[in-house]
Amino acid sequence: MRPRALVLSGYGINCERETAHVLRLAGADPEIVHLSELLYGEKHLRDYHLLCFPGGFLDGDHLGAAQAAAHRLRHARIRTSGERFMDHLLEFIKAGKLIIGICNGFQLLVKLGLLPGLEGRYGERLVSLTYNDSGRFEDRWVSLRVNRDSPCVFTRGFKRLYFPVRHGEGKFVVRDRDVLERLISGGQIVLQYTHPETGEPTQEYPYNPNGSVMAVAGICDPTGRVFGLMPHPEAFNHPTNHPRWRRETIPPETPGLRLFKNAVEYLRETLLS
């Protein structure tokens, strides 16, 4: 059975087709759904196994990007039932399903408080993403280290990754040092920007393209089933996506494709077995 994936669209999101494509290659059955279809009750989260908040320019890519969308969803009620949309999201997580937020989708997850979800307290905002230190939009490929001790479902089996970033607000910040320490101790820091020569996390620009604290590029919740990252795995779904594909041997199963296959395999092992 192919897991059903809901790929959100609308209000400036512009990576939904690319994301749906890689999910289909990974073995899922993706459907692109406009946010208004969920809020009007025409589509229902309960009918899907994986929810993807793709990248793009959700309500603009400037200070407060995704903030308007987060405010909208926090207070939204389903037109047909009057139920809170946030309750549907929390039920989705409780049911053991998967959520991934990429770039602006990551911004949305942290501003909804679905990440980091410390101690299962979803809805509490403890981290955010703000202006890049460079003061400009960054469009480049970055080297990433994967935390092998993280519970993240999507990154199982990876040590290193190489993905593109394209954002103006990707600098990861935390409310206070205690939050950062808890993310570290819980293995919730999944990805870090690294220097390509040393392979170690770095604050050096442009290898860390935004100045994120501790070079954080992606985090997960304590269950490992809710994952947010600034780099775009869906943009590396074929060998020819790689900037040096004519000079290096790139495997047909790219890391971007493998990341989504991990999600599909997890759902088959747990919810669909």
Q: Cα separation of 162 and 182, whole Å?
A: 27
Q: Which of 73-77, 87-91, 140-144 has the lowest mean pLDDT?
A: 73-77
> Given this model, what pLDDT does residue 199 score?
96
Asked if the model's pLDDT at residue 238 lies above 60, the reply is: yes
Among all residues, which ones are annotated catalytic? 103, 232, 234
Q: What is the pLDDT of residues 159-200, one digit of tens each?
A: 999 999 999 999 999 999 999 999 999 999 999 999 999 999
pLDDT band at 61 (very low <50, low <70, confident <90, very high): low
Q: Using a pLDDT cut of 90, give the percent of the chain over it.
A: 92
> pLDDT tens digits, residue range 110-154?
999 999 999 999 999 999 999 999 999 999 999 999 999 999 999
Confidence at residue 71, expressed as pLDDT on a 0 to 100 scale: 87
Confidence of residue 217 (pLDDT cuts 50, 70, 90): very high
Residue 63 has pLDDT above 60, yes or no: no
* Surface-to-core class of residue 200, CB atoms within 10 Å of its CB (0-12 exposed, 13-18 middle, 19+ buried): exposed
Cβ 142 vs Cβ 209: under 8 Å: yes
State residue 62's pLDDT score: 59
Indicate the DSSP class of residue 208.
Answer: S
| Cα 55-70-72 angle, rounded to 5 deg | 120
- 257 — pLDDT class (breaks 50, 70, 90): very high
Q: What is the mean pLDDT of residues 31-52?
A: 97
Cα–Cα separations (whole angstroms), residue 53 to 65, 226, 266: 14, 11, 19
Residues 137, 4: Cα–Cα separation, whole Å: 33
Residue 64 has pLDDT above 80, yes or no: no
pLDDT at residue number 67: 84
Task: Judge whether residue 104 has pLDDT over 80.
Answer: yes
Nearest one of 226, 215, 199, 228 to 106, comparing CA atoms: 228
Whole-number average pLDDT of the chain: 95
User: How much of the chain exceeds pLDDT 70, in percent?
Assistant: 97
State the pLDDT at residue 60.
Answer: 66
The CATH topology of domain 4-270 is Rossmann fold (3.40.50)
What is the reported pLDDT for 11? 86
Specify whether the CB–CB gap between 217 and 188 falls below 8 A: no
At residue 96, the pLDDT reads: 98
Determine the pLDDT at residue 130: 92
User: How sure is the predictor about 234, in pLDDT bands with cuts at 50, 70 and 90?
Assistant: very high
